[in-house]
Structure 1
Amino acid sequence: MSNTQRLHHSRRLSALAWLVAALCILPMAAVAIAALGGGGETLRALAGSVLPRYAGTTAFLVLVVAIGTGVIGTATAWLVTATRFPGRRILEIALALPLTYPAYVLAYAYTDLLDHPGLVQSTLRDLTGWGPRDYWFPEIRSLGGAAAMLIFVLYPYVYLLARAAFLRQSATAYIAARTLGLGPWGAFFRVSVPVARPAIAGGVLLAMMETLADYGTVAYFGVQTFATGIYVSWFGLFDRAAAAQLALCLLVVALALATLERHQRQNQRHHDAGRRFERMEPVTLRGRAAAGAIIACSLPVFFGFLLPSGILIALASDTSQILFSPRYLGFLQHSLTLASIAALLTVGAAIAMGFNARIFPSRAAKTGLRIAGIGYAVPGGVIAVGLLFPFAAFDNALDRVMEAQFGIDTGLLITGSIWLMIAAYMVRFMAVALNTYESGLATVNPNMDAVARTLGYGPTPMLRRIHVPILQPAILTALLIVFVDVMKELPATLILRPFNYDTLAVQAHRLASDERLAEAAVPSLVIGAVGLLPVALLCWSIGRETRRRS
């Protein structure tokens, strides 16, 4: 290939990469501009009314979820890695299963179980003869209930990262600590946890970002956070300035957490075992110790997956909602269409950006990757509001021009279509696709690229004939993860969906908001069943690694 052709390919790839980066930064810039242009009166009114409450509940929720996921994820990861007990191999895989459900689905299931008319309180009243005011029972529809739901589904982030960090640790430091008189728990807290701290902190920060982004759980439980405030300001009060300013507050916090998470991820590279690596031999537990380990690892799986699945199945069996009715097939078709298109476009854009940074490495290419990866830290509601501002202005301007010049009413070409939703999904989940693709790309020897160049391959043939076949597992994994994340995404879908274009997530949210939990169980189960696909893939890789380690 000539230098002119190579330069042409370079410019084309770079242009595509920067186009994707521009799309990812657009909603954040639009939110900032709209918030700063909204005037100080709206901000002062918010500061004197709802802003302190939003800030307080959001901070408390994030803090509780951080502590809960950190403790459960780290403890279970250590138990399945450093000890042996009956059922360890099953639990090692099952501990990832709560990732199947979004938190709002668990909220629907536990409300049916624990609310006043639910099975638990009804049984309690039948057994004791108490009336409704004769006893106290914890309220599931509360800030604490929302935190519990989020902890149940988000602790696997910490578990998976901590488990990988514990597996990479050398036993040398741990054995030295034991010989110096520390017991198993002392060596765990003084040696193992500090070495794995970057991975644990990275998982906790991911859980915190997901907590900030959650809307379905807090909205259903009536908890007032920044996420619910944005939606209420936009659709309830029709105050776009207030929605933009609340979105900007949430954006600042989310970007701060994203910066911390990136810093922690980079720090993981500085804890290698060195030349002498001695794998830690698991300790065999017996008696009470083994029973304690089984209980500690089983409870998160039970409360995060088994119990809500059983509740949803029981609810779905007692409802007249039929999954294969024309109405539900429409919801399913909308969900699958959005998820499929968004997954293909997002992963395709991630491949283009990652490949461009590899073949034509430069500071600009790396900057584009970092910009594109910011979206995962930004809640879906913020992205939706940020995209509505510029594209609604474009639609209105185009309609005025076409009406004045040609007498044609164009309507809402972009904001009234599914393409703005897909753009929001791309911004939100680009980081997931990039990280998955780059992790696979790191296994491709750079010498293969050099050999391909000597054989006359340009960038596009090299990508098509060499990289894509080699990276097929990583690409398929990225497609699957983005597909499922789009199926579960709620706030962006609620804000951006066209009229009469509902998805399974929207239908589940609507039915649950109307207290029709039995009907909401049907779409919730479908969302969970689709979520089993990436979790099954993850469990298969965990099982393969476990067999190799054993």
Structure 2
Amino acid sequence: MRPVGRGWQAVSVLVALGVLAPVASLIWLALGADYAHWQHLMRHVLPDAALNTALLLAGVGALTLVVGTGCAWLVSAHDFPGRRWLHWALLLPLAMPAYIVAFAYLDLLHPIGPVQGALRWLLGYSSPREWRLPDLRSMGGAIFVLGFVLYPYVYMTARAMFMTQPAHLMEAARTLGESRFGAFWRVALPMARPALAVGLSLALLETLNDIGASEFLGVNTLTVAVYTTWITRTDLAGAAQIACAMLLAVVALVWMERHGRRHQRYGSAQRMRAIQAERLHGAAAWAATAFTALPVLIGFVAPAAYLAWETAKRLRLGQGLSSGLWASLGNTLTLAFGVTVIAVIAGLIVAWATRQGVSTRPPSRWQARVTTLGYAVPGTVLAIGLLTPALAVDAGLAQLFHLPGLPLMSLGAVLVVACTIRFLVIPVGGIESGLQRIPSTLEQASRLLGETPLGTLARVHLPLLRPAIAASALLVFVDAMKELPATLLLRPANFDTLATWLYAEAARGTYEEGAVAALLIVIAGLLPVVLLARTQLGTPAKPVNHYRP
């Protein structure tokens, strides 16, 4: 196979450099500020924000590990009532952005809300002054909300690992006298460490990216500090310096994930039996059902039911949907469509150039690796990094074509670029995986028949890549609909998406209007969750009665 033409490689390199540009711009902007900025931040802003961020990451990490790993092991290695639907229902919280769950629980768990009112009635109290739950607007409340929204990242990776572990290792441990828990703790869990590290790092990166839930719940994290420093105090240099501190946190999380997978190598054989589900009976079976059903109830069912109820109540009262909400829906669909088209095209270029570049020495894979940085960098950091180059380009365009104002910013082009960079890893990874499943002999036959590389891509690879491209486009579309941090910071004037509309309504305390926008986002978010459930988890193993106590 001949190496790919220089044009493909050049475009692929440009895409990779575009991902790196915001980081370079951010560092330049932060280092360009005077020492007084750093001194003020080190004394008054960073200590509190960094401590809150560290506590939040530690709490969310612990909760997601316990819930995600426990649920993954129960549905993989045991059979109990409800297991056949819980094994996929445990993914449903992925359809609920954290800021939507926080929005719902602020009303559900309000001192005069339905949950606390019902509990006081059961306990015989008549007033919130006599008895009330701890305030949700706290560090504990933020850990509770984010933990039960993000545990599916750990659950998904841990379950995939548990399903592929050979059964004879667990059988050997049980034969040597280990209990069910002992075999899990000493055999299955250590083997799952690489998967747990990947899932945990994804959950923590999402926690670091969150701005809506943290601000709603009164936790001043580094992300919230970036937003308030830029928007409230109009201090771009200070926001850039805080964003650099966030980059250090991102590097630490990525290092943690790599460190957790170091030196992990496992042999495999084609005919190894997978772990068979062991049937539970009596109280143990119902305890397993309760443990696995509770995260679904907290992370999806309760907030989704609240949003549906508030939406139905609003429509039943004849209030309908405001014109602003319809405009936000149109803006959301337009933004998501534009980001999807650009991200899929860029991802196809990078993945195709990478496949063709494997014939060169050394292999040209660095572009695909660089694109993964976009997802690791929080949306607020991307926004800060893109602002300076975008303003410079806007100034040049305005001077060259005599355009008024800031054309790129006012048209939303910078926002599209930010979302594309953030979600580019999805089409690159999806299309690259699809290309790996296509035999190279097909491409060689096409080239021997005189087809060009572009013709081979169009006539051979694209028809075979349709499922991978469609799945990647769906995931990018829904993620762009839900994106809040970058949209808040880079949206044009008088431009609201469903996410920013909900953010504004929650800030004003008008939950009824925000519930409609939140429900629309959740409905859209269900699509990729159904896709994941169908393609990633498979069918639960049939139960057996080995090692019954």
TM over 0.5: yes
Equivalent residue number for residue 433 of structure 2: 439
Per-residue CA deviations over 1:152-198 (Å, capped at 9, x if unaligned) read 11111111111111111111211111111111110001000111110
| Conservation of the 8 A alpha-carbon contact between 1:257 and 1:377 | no
> Counterpart amino acid of 1:382?
V
> Is 2:225 aligned against 1:229?
yes
> Counterpart amino acid of 2:253?
L
**Which range is displaced more, 526-535 or 431-440?**
431-440
| Conservation of the 8 A alpha-carbon contact between 2:69 and 2:155 | yes
Measure the CA separation in 1 of the matches of 2:422 and 2:179.
45
| Conservation of the 8 A alpha-carbon contact between 1:17 and 1:353 | yes
Partner residue of 2:15 out of 16, 20, 41: 20
The alpha-carbon deviation at position 329 of structure 1 amounts to: 2.1
The alpha-carbon deviation at position 229 of structure 1 amounts to: 0.5
Measure the CA separation in 1 of the matches of 2:210 and 2:236.
20
| Conservation of the 8 A alpha-carbon contact between 2:164 and 2:275 | no
SS in 2 for 1:318: helix
Measure the CA separation in 1 of the matches of 2:128 and 2:137.
17
The alpha-carbon deviation at position 364 of structure 1 amounts to: 7.0
Partner residue of 1:538 out of 501, 525, 532: 532
> Is 2:352 aligned against 1:355?
yes
Equivalent residue number for residue 179 of structure 2: 183
> Is 2:443 aligned against 1:449?
yes
SS in 1 for 2:408: coil
Q: 1:421 to 1:101 in 2, by over 3 A?
A: same
Equivalent residue number for residue 512 of structure 2: 518
Partner residue of 1:152 out of 136, 139, 148: 148
Q: 1:252 to 1:322 in 2, by over 3 A?
A: farther
Equivalent residue number for residue 315 of structure 1: 310
> Counterpart amino acid of 2:502?
A
The alpha-carbon deviation at position 265 of structure 1 amounts to: 6.6
Measure the CA separation in 1 of the matches of 2:275 and 2:452.
46
SS in 1 for 2:409: coil
- The gaps in structure 2 that reach 5 residues or longer are 545-549
**Which range is displaced more, 162-171 or 533-542?**
533-542
The alpha-carbon deviation at position 416 of structure 1 amounts to: 2.0
Number of corresponding residues: 539
Equivalent residue number for residue 10 of structure 1: 5
Partner residue of 1:493 out of 482, 487, 494: 487
- Structure-2-length-normalised TM-score: 0.93
Q: 1:549 to 1:326 in 2, by over 3 A?
A: farther
Measure the CA separation in 1 of the matches of 2:458 and 2:320.
40
Per-residue CA deviations over 1:346-399 (Å, capped at 9, x if unaligned) read 111111101111112255731111111111011101101110111112323444
Measure the CA separation in 2 of the matches of 1:183 and 1:544.
28
**Which range is displaced more, 459-468 or 274-283?**
274-283
Measure the CA separation in 2 of the matches of 1:357 and 1:322.
54
Q: 1:95 to 1:441 in 2, by over 3 A?
A: same
| Conservation of the 8 A alpha-carbon contact between 1:198 and 1:267 | no
Per-residue CA deviations over 1:496-536 (Å, capped at 9, x if unaligned) read 11111100000011001111112111000000000011111
Equivalent residue number for residue 110 of structure 2: 115
| Conservation of the 8 A alpha-carbon contact between 2:89 and 2:296 | yes
The alpha-carbon deviation at position 108 of structure 1 amounts to: 1.0
Per-residue CA deviations over 1:243-272 (Å, capped at 9, x if unaligned) read 00000110121133234435657877x324
Measure the CA separation in 2 of the matches of 1:277 and 1:21.
41
Measure the CA separation in 1 of the matches of 2:219 and 2:256.
26
Per-residue CA deviations over 1:199-248 (Å, capped at 9, x if unaligned) read 01110010000000000101111210010000101010011111000001
> Counterpart amino acid of 1:503?
T
Equivalent residue number for residue 255 of structure 1: 251
Partner residue of 2:236 out of 235, 240, 246: 240
1:77-92 to 2 correspondence within 5 Å?
Answer: 77-92=72-87
| Conservation of the 8 A alpha-carbon contact between 2:328 and 2:496 | yes
Measure the CA separation in 2 of the matches of 1:518 and 1:265.
46
Equivalent residue number for residue 290 of structure 1: 285
Q: 1:229 to 1:543 in 2, by over 3 A?
A: closer
> Counterpart amino acid of 1:236?
T
> Is 2:452 aligned against 1:458?
yes
The alpha-carbon deviation at position 86 of structure 1 amounts to: 2.0
Q: 1:453 to 1:301 in 2, by over 3 A?
A: same
Q: 1:81 to 1:544 in 2, by over 3 A?
A: closer
Equivalent residue number for residue 374 of structure 2: 375
Equivalent residue number for residue 547 of structure 2: none
Measure the CA separation in 2 of the matches of 1:176 and 1:75.
22
Instruction: Give % identity.
Output: 40
- The gaps in structure 1 that reach 5 residues or longer are none
Partner residue of 2:301 out of 297, 306, 324: 306
The alpha-carbon deviation at position 544 of structure 1 amounts to: 4.7
| Conservation of the 8 A alpha-carbon contact between 1:323 and 1:522 | no
> Counterpart amino acid of 1:378?
V
Equivalent residue number for residue 384 of structure 2: 385
Equivalent residue number for residue 508 of structure 1: 502
> Is 2:330 aligned against 1:333?
yes
Equivalent residue number for residue 346 of structure 1: 343
